[in-house]
Structure 1
Amino acid sequence: MHEHLAQQVTRHATSVFRKPVTDYNRLAFETSMAAWHDSGSKPLILDAGCGVGLSTLHLAQQFPDHFVIGVDQSADRLARNVQWPGEVPGNALRVRADLVDYWRLLQDAGIGLARHYLLYPNPWPKKQHLGRRWHGHPVFPTVVALGGALECRSNWRIYVEECAAALTQLTGLAVPVESLDAQHPITPFEEKYRASSHPLWRCRVALPTLNPQQ
């Protein structure tokens, strides 16, 4: 793991992230929240960095009593054919937005998550790119503050180990890293690495409920 990870996590946890929220992200957030409220404000699942959105649809099918929002910054990825067999579930929504802003808008609104998935993580393997990995980014304390059952998956074990270490540092909770048996893949990258016999890894933790005053 990166030798400066703990120092970076501490710095971000003890400072205020002041990047301005853009108007298009605020509009995307408000539109998605209106759809969520129209659904009856079911327990909320966030599929962060959903790519083409196949994982969003799988999660909506797996948790029919929840409302699943998939967020990705790429309009091209969101517009691709996800080859979903049948109609898109009514409890699923895909949104184009920057996660950095979307996460902070959720926290500012005092909206906690029931489940939270980082299934398309941003490994950035070069040493100088620690700050671009989610657990090394200034927004990571906000990710933790949103609460819920958080799960991170990747084919790069070090990335998952760093994520688990950062979660433990911020929460005091033990966060194990485990092998992921993707017999039923829910993302294209899981299907790709399963087909090539490439190992997958994940960490999971039950985070405290969001405290709007954090």
Structure 2
Amino acid sequence: MTTVAIIDYGMGNLRSVAKAVEHVAPGHRIHVTCDPAVVAAADRVVFPGQGAMPDCMRELDLRGLRPAVLAAAATKPFLGICIGQQMLFEHSEEGDVPGLGVFEGEVVRFRDADMLGADGARLKVPHMGWNEVWQGGEHALWEGIPDGERFYFVHSYYVSPSDPAVSAAETLYGRRFTSAVARANIFAVQFHPEKSAQAGLRLLSNFIRWAP
């Protein structure tokens, strides 16, 4: 029986993430937790979140979760979602704050100059709603998910990895941006799989079965 820790550092309602993981992992132990010991003991870890990057980093440290997150990202199947993806990078323009530095690169804001659609109309920020995700190559978490499938996004910032090789998917919104990253035991996405209907549930199911 697999134990999955969903890290709760006080930012955002994690109910939808927990319910989606429970749906695809019947019979497994799912813990929404702020306890570093529970994170350390889990077989795999989900690192979600929403809100502003400075607040998220502050709350993570106030709860003493930074070492547990870094250890999990180094040693076990690890899924970052939304801000949980952005926090894995070195630095964010949002509040000019350092991240966890698991991946090299920046978190940057959509630029006004890029915010034009194919028809020339001005695109809104935040990027909110369904959009296509174009896979960067084969990966176990893409199994059974068509290339170009639509997932649900809500964000004003996105990751810009220093190493293009870690990009696992791209999405077009004014410009092409990295919407998923992968390396070794880590997979992280900008979109919300828990809000992305069957495609999102399939990605979560793939994560539960993933043996990197």
**What is the TM-score of this pair, normalised by structure 2?**
0.38
Give the structure with the higher percent strand.
2
Give the structure with the higher percent helix.
1
